[in-house]
Amino acid sequence: MPSYPAGLSVSNHALNRLTTALRRSRRQRSTRWRRLSVGRQALLVLAHLRKAETYADLAAGFGIGTTTAFRYIREAIDALVAHAPTLDQAIQIAVRKAFVILDGTLLRIDRVGMTNGADRPYYSGKHKCHGVNVQVLTDPMGRLIWSSPALPGARHDMGAAREHGLIDALVAAGVQVLADSAYRGAGPEFDLPQRRRRADPATGTRRRLSGNQRAVNAAHAAQRGPGERANAVFKSWKIFRKIRCCPLRATALVQAVQVLILASAVTT
């Protein structure tokens, strides 16, 4: 199979973080010999995560077997997951911010059973596709603070955030949170947009928002907008364009990429 050299739009900080994690993993495993050096293995893993290169293509490009490529990638992802920040660490960062932005995103998947109904928990009626729900917490500039484990895509954002303990942790720490209407009822610390009043039982119509209320919502959306940046950064890693592994491995992928994104944010 022909191969070609190509570049990766990944910072050296992320490469160094992955290389360090792999070197520590090899030391713990007491590995004597590998077909690829630590640096070459790190490049292989980044090509898979960043560009969604298949195992067969990576194996041909790096001169190894397909099974070896699969094993190298899985080993690296597990090594990165061990360095993923916990919710408590994220809250310690959040309390130092003026406010944080909370939003949920759907990462599409296609490895779900379709014959026995096992796909139903993963089907998002909002997005009309199968996926996993990930809660993303960012600072006011849209820089990633923490991303949650993946849950089936049918889960509502509010239910997913509560299941992770994120709502309770933010409220207990007194962190001011900007979020959309999906998190209504989370608590007084959550700043949410205005919503229309309930429908009139007699006429069935809803009272429209006033001009001032619409202006408040527009300002709220503009302030909440940078939070979408973190979602866009996640999906710029092409492995998330459509996850083709078991849905149970989606959490490991999210946490591994989270570690690389946080490493890329380090400034010298």
Q: CA separation (Å) from 76 to 12, 15, 57, 123?
A: 17, 12, 18, 29
CA neighbours closer than 13 Å in the CB half-sphere of residue 14 = 20
Q: Please indicate, yes or no, whether residues 74 and 53 belong to a single structural domain of this protein.
A: yes
Tokens describing residue 27? 């030391």
Q: What is the DSSP letter of 110?
A: -
Q: Please indicate, yes or no, whether residues 75 and 145 belong to a single structural domain of this protein.
A: no
Q: What is the DSSP string of 129-146?
A: EEEEEEEEEE-TT--EEE
Q: Please indicate, yes or no, whether residues 51 and 95 belong to a single structural domain of this protein.
A: no
Residue where a domain stops, chosen among 63, 81, 99? 81
- Give the pLDDT of residue 132: 94
Q: Please indicate, yes or no, whether residues 104 and 74 belong to a single structural domain of this protein.
A: no
Q: Please indicate, yes or no, whether residues 110 and 229 belong to a single structural domain of this protein.
A: yes
- Give the pLDDT of residue 120: 87
- Considering the domain boundaries, does residue 173 fall inside one? yes
Residue where a domain stops, chosen among 81, 115, 141? 81
Residue 250: helix, strand or coil by DSSP? helix
- Considering the domain boundaries, does residue 253 fall inside one? no
Write the pLDDT tens digit of every residue in 12-53.
999 999 999 999 999 988 877 888 999 999 999 999 999 999
Domain residue limits at 42: 12-81
Q: Which residues pair with 102 in a beta bridge?
A: 137
Q: Please indicate, yes or no, whether residues 98 and 51 belong to a single structural domain of this protein.
A: no
In the chain, the number of structural domains is 2
Write the pLDDT tens digit of every residue in 138-170.
999 999 999 999 999 999 999 999 999 999 999
Residue where a domain stops, chosen among 30, 64, 81? 81
Q: Please indicate, yes or no, whether residues 156 and 230 belong to a single structural domain of this protein.
A: yes
- Considering the domain boundaries, does residue 152 fall inside one? yes
Q: Please indicate, yes or no, whether residues 39 and 106 belong to a single structural domain of this protein.
A: no
C-alpha–C-alpha distance, residues 254 and 129, integer Å: 19
- Considering the domain boundaries, does residue 2 fall inside one? no
Q: Please indicate, yes or no, whether residues 135 and 211 belong to a single structural domain of this protein.
A: yes
Write the pLDDT tens digit of every residue in 187-234.
888 999 988 777 767 776 777 888 888 898 899 899 999 999 999 999
Q: Please indicate, yes or no, whether residues 116 and 152 belong to a single structural domain of this protein.
A: yes
Write the pLDDT tens digit of every residue in 235-268.
999 999 888 888 889 999 999 999 999 999 875 4
- The answer to whether the beta carbons of residues 206 and 199 sit under 8 Å apart is yes
Burial of 196 (0-12, 13-18, 19+ CB in 10 A): exposed
- Considering the domain boundaries, does residue 207 fall inside one? yes
Q: Please indicate, yes or no, whether residues 171 and 73 belong to a single structural domain of this protein.
A: no
Q: Please indicate, yes or no, whether residues 235 and 146 belong to a single structural domain of this protein.
A: yes
